[in-house]
Amino acid sequence: MSRFGTPVPYTATAVRPAYGTLPAAVRERIAEELGGEPTTARLAGGGFTGGFAARVRSESGAELFVKAAGPRLPYVLAPYRKEAQINPALPAGIPAPRLHFSHDVEDWIVLGFEAVNGGGVDLPMTPTDLDLMLDAWAAAAELLTPAPRSLLEAGVERRPIDDMLRKFTGVAAGAEEPFPVPPPLEGRIDELAALDARIDEAIRADAAMHFDLRPDNMIVGAEQAWICDWNWMGVHAPWFDTACFLVAAHGDGHDAEALFWRHPTAAGVADEQLDIALAAIAGYYLAQARQDLIEGVSPYIRKHQRWSGLAAADWLARRRGYLK
C-alpha cells in the first residue's frame, strides 16, 4: 500500500467480451488475417474501457494483438478508429506495436497489431521497468519533435486544451462543482486556478505528444518497452506526457522529481511550467474520481483516478511548499 491507498491492479482492471461473443463477421475477418482460426485468445487484463483486446494465436503459431469495438461502445469505437489512422503514420523507430490491419466489419472496427514479447506492469514498479519505459518515451519524443508531417497529415493537430485540464479554474469561477481535494490543497483553489488556467501556454510546442502516457499504456519486455494506445495525440509539448507518466511513479514511491529533470524531454522546462502541469493533472483526476461509473467501463476507473489525483496533488504540494 502506498501513501495514497492501495493502487488498482493495473494488469487486471479490464472487463472485456470473450472472443466467442464477437460477431461472426468480425471473427471471420480475424481468422482470415491470422491465417487460420485462433486456437487461443488471451484477453488483455489491463485497461479501463470495455472493448475487445486480446493476443490471438492460430494453430500455425501466428500471433496478433487484436482490438475490436462496435456501436454499443461508442466511446471505444471512436478511439479505435483514430488509432487506426495514427499508428501507421508513426515515424519509424518509435517503440510502438505496429498496426498490421484495420477493417470496418459491418458496424464494428477490428484492428490487428504485432504481438510484441512483453506484458503489463503492476505497482510497485521495479526501477528496471521504470527505466525501460522512460527510455522508450525518450526515444519516441525525440522522433516526435518537431511534429512529423506524416502525423499532421493523419489528423494530429494543435487543439486548444479543453476545460478537463482546467478544473480548478472552473471551481474558482463557479462553473464547476467543487470536488474533494487532499488537506494540503484545501483553501488554495484560487492559487491552483491561477496555475491550471495557463496550461495552454505552458505546454505549447511544435511537437507531437501521446497525451495519455501512463505505465498501463505500455508493454514491458526483458530489454525494452513499447508504447501503446496512440489515439489521443496532439501538437503540444512531450514533457507534459513525462509528467503524466511520473505521477504514477511518485505515488509508487520513486523520486519522480529527479526522474523528470533527468529526462531528455525536460530540457528547457521551467519550474512553473511543471507546477502548472501538475495542477492541471491533479484537478482532472480528482474531479473525474467523483463521477459515477459508466456502463461497460472498468469498475476500477474511479479508484485509479482518485489515487492518481492524490499522487499528483502530493507532488505539487511538495514542490510548492504546501506541506510545511
Decide if 10 is inside a domain.
no
**Looking at the structure, do residues 60 and 141 belong to the same domain, yes or no?**
no
Q: In the block, which residue shows the cell 459508466?
A: 294
**Looking at the structure, do residues 30 and 173 belong to the same domain, yes or no?**
no
**Looking at the structure, do residues 148 and 248 belong to the same domain, yes or no?**
yes
pLDDT of residue 69: 95
Residues in the chain: 324
Helices (H) and strands (E) in the chain, counts: 11, 9
Q: Where a domain ends, among 113, 140, 170? A: 113
Average pLDDT over the chain, rounded to an integer? 96
pLDDT class of 3 with cuts at 50, 70, 90: confident
Decide if 303 is inside a domain.
yes
Q: Which amino acid is at 3?
A: R
Number of domains the chain is built from: 2
**Looking at the structure, do residues 36 and 149 belong to the same domain, yes or no?**
no
Task: Note the pTM of the prediction, 2 decimals.
Answer: 0.96
Instruction: Report d(CA 8, CA 295) in Å as an integer.
Output: 19
Instruction: Report d(CA 51, CA 65) in Å as an integer.
Output: 13
**Looking at the structure, do residues 101 and 142 belong to the same domain, yes or no?**
no
Decide if 70 is inside a domain.
yes
Q: What's the sign of the alpha-carbon dihedral 90, 206, 135, 166?
A: negative
Digit-coded pLDDT (tens) for 214-239: 999 999 999 999 999 999 999 999 99
**Looking at the structure, do residues 131 and 99 belong to the same domain, yes or no?**
no
Instruction: Report d(CA 246, CA 196) in Å as an integer.
Output: 18
Tell me the CATH number at 63. 3.30.200.20
**Looking at the structure, do residues 108 and 152 belong to the same domain, yes or no?**
no
Cβ distance 70 to 77 under 8 Å?
yes
Q: Where a domain ends, among 80, 113, 146? A: 113
Instruction: Report d(CA 58, CA 234) in Å as an integer.
Output: 36
Cell of 298: 472498468
**Looking at the structure, do residues 88 and 163 belong to the same domain, yes or no?**
no
For 66, the domain range is 19-113
Instruction: Report d(CA 47, CA 12) in Å as an integer.
Output: 8
Is the confidence at residue 1, as pLDDT, over 70? no
Digit-coded pLDDT (tens) for 141-200: 999 999 999 999 999 999 899 899 999 999 999 999 999 999 999 999 999 999 999 999
Cell of 235: 501538437
**Looking at the structure, do residues 106 and 135 belong to the same domain, yes or no?**
no
Rg over CA atoms, the chain = 20
Decide if 35 is inside a domain.
yes
**Looking at the structure, do residues 159 and 42 belong to the same domain, yes or no?**
no
Decide if 3 is inside a domain.
no
- Give the CB-side neighbour count of residue 76, counting CA atoms within 13 A: 26
Digit-coded pLDDT (tens) for 7-62: 899 999 999 999 999 999 999 999 999 999 999 999 999 999 889 999 999 999 99
**Looking at the structure, do residues 202 and 99 belong to the same domain, yes or no?**
no
Tell me the CATH number at 191. 3.90.1200.10
Is the confidence at residue 124, as pLDDT, over 80? yes
pLDDT of residue 57: 96
pLDDT of residue 296: 80
Higher-confidence residue: 49 or 133?
A: 133
Longest CA–CA span in the chain (Å) reads 63
Q: Where a domain ends, among 113, 137, 165? A: 113
**Looking at the structure, do residues 146 and 66 belong to the same domain, yes or no?**
no
- Give the CB-side neighbour count of residue 304, counting CA atoms within 13 A: 22
Q: Which amino acid is at 293?
A: L
Is the confidence at residue 324, as pLDDT, over 70? no
Decide if 2 is inside a domain.
no
> What's the 3-state SS for 154-165?
CCCCCCCCCHHH
Higher-confidence residue: 293 or 318?
A: 318
Q: Which of 108, 120, 107, 112 is nearest to 58 (CA)?
A: 112
